[in-house]
Amino acid sequence: MPPPTSSLRTILSRDKVSFIVHSASSPFQQIRLDRVSRAFGSFNALREVSLDIGRGEFIALLGPSGCGKSTALNCIAGLLAITGGAISLDDRRIDELKPEDRGFGMVFQNYALFPHMKVRDNVGFGLKMRGVPRADADRRIDAALELVRLGNQGDKLPGQLSGGQQQRVAIARAIVIEPALVLMDEPLSNLDAKLRLEMRAEIRRIHNQLGATTIYVTHDQDEALSLADRVVVMRDGQIRQVGRPEELYDSPASLDVAEFMGFRNRIAGTVTAIDNGRATIAVGDARLVGRAGAGLGPGDAAMLVARPDDLALAAAGLGATVESVEYRGREFVGLARTGDDSELVFHSDTRLDTGATVTLAPDPARALVFRAAS
């Protein structure tokens, strides 16, 4: 994905604008996390996390709460000291710098707007700290407010704005300083569902327009997949997988990433054959086929995982009893229970009766087979 080239500066090109370039906001090619660790007492919130981020990239850190994604973000911002490893911008170590000397922009989960300052002064705070002359600052504030579509709200206090508007102010405040890196910590988690979709599009639009390198923390895979150029899946303080959204969606590399990506159905069995990247597993009398994960051989205990969308009625497959059926518009989604008491969620084009016996099989091209966790 080529980094977009326009910036706040070019938006303002009609004005002669002089910027005081902060040490860290100079252009850079790469930000590198090298075996970054963070321990809280005996608890390791981050364990040797390594990641390279290119200029202009939009990276999402995705994972369940407590996986270390926010810790990673705070370490990059300088709000938390790291206990091991290094963070560097090109070849310059920045992990010893105070947060105020890093020159990054950050959008906080609860916005963290200064309640006693007008919207304009909130947005202009970073410029004021950098000693940007008043006239320049005013122009840049106007441009930033225009960009987040809050042109006429500058003289209000944050408390007078709606949640979505507050979030826009927080974004304007972070980007007006033209940071080398924009950090976003679950910025949409306090908004209701409809506003969340709107702001998601808004964040993408602003990113496309400015091209600022962005690290975005979220626990919502939809958000991560729709926004990011690359998604980093984290768990237990470690990176489990890094990849483009479609890679992660189609081919999670491990069982727990797959589960997190919505592969809800788990069927345990034994590998009987591997052929052309497809693994066949035996579950009782049934034979099911899916794409084989790494290091799988015949005879291994395995786990087949599939999304509800990829599990359907079939001529041959696993027998189960329907427990409930919901109508979802185009299709029906059913819950069935197998003989060994595991639950399966599947889709069906026709209505089924509760208590009916069905035969279910996964789509071999989409289901995945992993070695069972020992």
User: Which chain residues interact with other proteins by CB under 8 A?
Assistant: 22, 77-79, 81, 98-106, 108-116, 125-126, 128-130, 157-159, 163, 166, 170, 173-174, 177, 183, 189-190
Residues 6+ apart with CB under 8 A from 298: 271, 272, 273, 274
> Tokens 């969606």 label which residue?
249
Long-range Cβ contact pairs of 154-159 (< 8 A, separation 24 or more): 154/118, 154/119, 154/120, 154/123, 155/118, 155/119, 155/120, 156/118, 156/119, 157/115, 157/116, 157/117, 157/118, 157/119, 158/111, 158/113, 158/114, 158/115, 158/117, 158/119, 158/122, 159/115
Of 12 and 106, the one with the shorter C-beta distance to other proteins is: 106
Q: Which two tokens stand for residue 113?
A: 């707007």
Of 122 and 280, the one with the shorter C-beta distance to other proteins is: 122
Beta strands in 8-141 (DSSP E): 30-40, 43-54, 58-62, 84-89, 92-93, 105-107
Of 52 and 100, the one with the shorter C-beta distance to other proteins is: 100
Of 126 and 308, the one with the shorter C-beta distance to other proteins is: 126
How many separate helices (H) and strands (E) can be counted in the chain? 9, 19
Of 77 and 257, the one with the shorter C-beta distance to other proteins is: 77
CB of 79 to other proteins, least distance (A): 5
CB of 152 to other proteins, least distance (A): 21
CB of 173 to other proteins, least distance (A): 7
CB of 63 to other proteins, least distance (A): 20
Edge-to-edge strands of the sheet including 84-89? 43-54, 30-40, 84-89, 92-93
First to last CA, the chain: 39
CB of 74 to other proteins, least distance (A): 8
Of 24 and 314, the one with the shorter C-beta distance to other proteins is: 24
Q: Which two tokens stand for residue 233?
A: 């899946």
CB of 316 to other proteins, least distance (A): 51
Of 159 and 277, the one with the shorter C-beta distance to other proteins is: 159
CB of 47 to other proteins, least distance (A): 22
